[in-house]
Chain A
Amino acid sequence: SQQGEEDPQALSIQEGENATMNCSYKTSINNLQWYRQNSGRGLVHLILIRSNEREKHSGRLRVTLDTSKKSSSLLITASRAADTASYFCATDALGAGNMLTFGGGTRLMVKP
């Protein structure tokens, strides 16, 4: 099974609302990353959080990491229609080099 698993699998919200996506993983990690994928496109790196960090911000994005629970969350505040995409977490497990393991993604739809 996937090292990282996102929850929910799909999320539909109105523009202006906040979107929260969660990721759980199984083994100890070096870092956890979040990526975004627009339909028919490649993945774009959003943010990386290291195992010794608990929270990180980048613009409207806020990522938290709880290594004791092996979970992370991605919060997008004041969502826009352009945020519609799939969001994936990826873990860099200890000893695995940079062989990222991805979850199945959360498909976010932001309605205008």
Chain B
Amino acid sequence: DTAVSQTPKYLVTQMGNDKSIKCEQNLGHDTMYWYKQDSKKFLKIMFSYNNKELIINETVPNRFSPKSPDKAHLNLHINSLELGDSAVYFCASSTGTKGTIYFGEGSWLTVV
């Protein structure tokens, strides 16, 4: 009965590879997000996706692309991975664009 689930939880990959992280929410929310948490625990919003409207944080490299096959899923695809992409990536969701956001458990990405 996990509310926001993301896979894989751990991912180790080489520089230059392309990888995806999947996210699904069963809360009936219409807005989903991706956040990145770096080694110093700072959390940064990457994307917000609501009713097919994508809001992108301008600091996110275009190697990162969210893909939403339906309202319950927002996957994160990363091309040409770099060492600096190593971080924990959190998927989240909410109803509308206000109020409480529910987070997944995170995906630990390590680029070697």
Contacts and interface: CB of A to CB of B under 8 A. Distances in A.
Interface residues of B, number: 28
Contact of B48 (A2, A42, A98, A102): A98
Nearest to B42: A104
Interface string A1-28: 0100000000000000000000000000
A35 B92 CA distance: 13
A78 interface: no
Q: Determine the main DSSP class of A at the interface with B.
A: strand
B97 interface: yes
Interface stretch (B14-22, B64-72, B75-83, B100-108): B100-108
Interface size class of A (residues with CB under 8 A): 20 to 34
Given A92-B98, A97-B48, A44 B42 contact: no
22 contacts: A31-B99, A33-B101, A41-B105, A43-B43, A43-B92, A43-B103, A44-B103, A45-B100, A48-B100, A97-B48, A97-B55, A97-B97, A98-B31, A98-B33, A98-B48, A98-B96, A98-B97, A99-B57, A101-B45, A102-B35, A102-B42, A105-B41
Given A86-B41, A98-B94, A104-B41, 15 more contacts: A2-B42, A40-B106, A41-B106, A42-B90, A88-B43, A97-B48, A97-B50, A97-B55, A98-B33, A98-B98, A98-B101, A99-B33, A99-B48, A102-B42, A102-B44
